[in-house]
Chains A and B, each alone.
Chain A
Amino acid sequence: MPVPISQAWTVASYVLGHKIKGTKRYPLVLMLEPLFRCNLECAGCGKIQYPEHILKRRLSPEQIFKAVDECGAPMVSIPGGEPLIHPEIKEIVEGLVERKKYIYLCTNAILLKRKLDLFTPSKYLTFSVHMDGLKEEHDHAVCRDGIYDVATEAIREAIKRGFRVTTNTTLFEGADPVRVRAFFDEMTRIGVEGMMMSPGYSYSHAPDQQHFLQRSRTQDLFSKILSNPKKEWAFNQSPLFLEFLMGRQDYECTPWGNPTYNIFGWQKPCYLLGEGYVSSFKELIEETEWDNYGHRSGNPKCANCMVHCGYEATAVDDTFGTWNGFARTVKLTLLGFGASKPLNGNGHANGGVHLNGSRESTNGHHVKSEAPVGCGSGCSHHHHDEKEHEHAGKN
């Protein structure tokens, strides 16, 4: 089941509007973290490791609406912590629906079945359920037995009641492509609208050679998973981003495409790295030294990163920003990933001309992307702890 036409149209016209205006940096998905408290304690999750008085805090609906209005992104992803713990989650969702924002409420689904009555099915609301694989892999990743069964039961119930439901999956080195494909089959059988995935990423002080290997291992893993996709699988992501994960497309990070707002403020520069906080979205855009980030920046923290919150927006921009990007997206949507080719020597599957007539930038800064099919929200429920990483801050 693809993303509704109305959502694809909203995103396409939003991106094109910015293209025509010549906006250099614009947000696509606001990553809204209303609280850090969670009812799970997954291995390595860097979002929940705070003193108790920090875990008690949460953003109020008013703070959230102010941030959403200032940011202007057409999609709002609500990770956490676990957003269903927030006592005003109903008001928050209602306020965002009223603003016609496409919401991806990212949840581990422990509370989903119990809390479904709070919500009304809407094209604007999608539950994006954290699922890291089949039962064995998922329960292992979330460090608690039985959670896979709880989550799949909640997914079935939400679908039965007419809600949009997707899954979000973080894949780590060592993931078994055969098991991941079986997981896609299972989620498809259950009837989710689409699936989202992203490589797990944790920066560490590794020499460059290792960086290279890590990145190529990610590409290898995703190639094995996706190079022969089943036609019934639906991904709630840009096909160009999936190509990027497979190493068939070279993109640079556009972290402003998925700005993050939480109890500390607007997070610089991205959802993964918390290098500082500012009090307005305007300040975030104007004061962040963006050239210091992205895998070509030379910043070791970015060297291996291929996560959706940095690169999916780039892919969406490519789709709507260049004729070639658009054509490739359509081709991939109609013919599948078998239709794509590995990169040529200069790191591009093909060149491109922006829809506004200018040449595609030579440094690989396409811009964000959200595809006519696959307008992923960018939820990710695995947030690796960057604490021990040089200047990586509190994320």
Chain B
Amino acid sequence: MGDLSTDIEKAFDYRGDITLALKDGRAIVGFMSNREPKGAVRCRDPFVEMMVAGSDEKQLFKYSEITKIEFTGEDTAAGKSWEEWMAKEEAKKKNAIKT
């Protein structure tokens, strides 16, 4: 694992579930919906917010509680950006011209 803050940023940008390993031994599986590296009104320390399958509430974990982050769920955005779609369309057009 790299630097925790970097991993948290990656996890925040990731469009799939991740697993947080906590210092108390728990593993939290869910979607990281937010992170506040400077803290906020609801928690002055840096924290992440997780949406855990089966729970309606967002769960908040301080950076200091986290030991490791793993990208355990499928990346739902993989290969689906506009640029990738455009590239596929271009390739289709080129193939159609060739055949």
Name A residues whose Cβ lies closer than 8 Å to a Cβ of B.
43-44, 46, 49-51, 53-54, 57, 200, 202, 204, 263-265, 276-279, 283, 287, 384-385, 387-388, 391-394
Tell me if B54 and A53 are in contact (CB < 8 A): yes
**Given A264-B33, A391-B9, A394-B33, A44 and B51 contact (CB-CB distance below 8 Å):** no
Tell me if A51 and B34 are in contact (CB < 8 A): no
Q: B residues 29-76 with Cβ under 8 Å of A?
A: 30-31, 33-36, 40-42, 49, 51, 53-54, 56, 58, 73-74, 76
CB-CB under 8 A from B76, the residues of chain A are 49-51
Q: Give the size of the chain B interface in residues (CB under 8 angstroms).
A: 32
Tell me if A53 and B53 are in contact (CB < 8 A): yes
Q: CB-nearest residue of chain A relative to B13?
A: A387
Name B residues whose Cβ lies closer than 8 Å to a Cβ of A.
9, 12-17, 30-31, 33-36, 40-42, 49, 51, 53-54, 56, 58, 73-74, 76-77, 80-83, 85-86
**Given A51-B73, A391-B9, A393-B12, A44 and B85 contact (CB-CB distance below 8 Å):** yes
Tell me if A287 and B40 are in contact (CB < 8 A): yes
CA distance A332 to B41 in the complex (A): 46
Tell me if A385 and B81 are in contact (CB < 8 A): yes
Tell me if A51 and B17 are in contact (CB < 8 A): yes
Tell me if A49 and B41 are in contact (CB < 8 A): no
B60 CB to nearest chain A CB (Å) = 11
**Given A53-B31, A283-B40, A387 and B77 contact (CB-CB distance below 8 Å):** yes
**Given A53-B51, A204-B83, A283-B41, A276 and B36 contact (CB-CB distance below 8 Å):** yes
A272 CB to nearest chain B CB (Å) = 13
Tell me if A385 and B40 are in contact (CB < 8 A): no
CB-CB under 8 A from A385, the residues of chain B are 77, 80-82
Tell me if B49 and A277 are in contact (CB < 8 A): yes
**Given A51-B16, A277-B49, A387 and B31 contact (CB-CB distance below 8 Å):** no
CA distance A50 to B51 in the complex (A): 12
Q: Which of B12, B34, B56 has the largest number of chain A CB atoms within 10 A?
A: B34
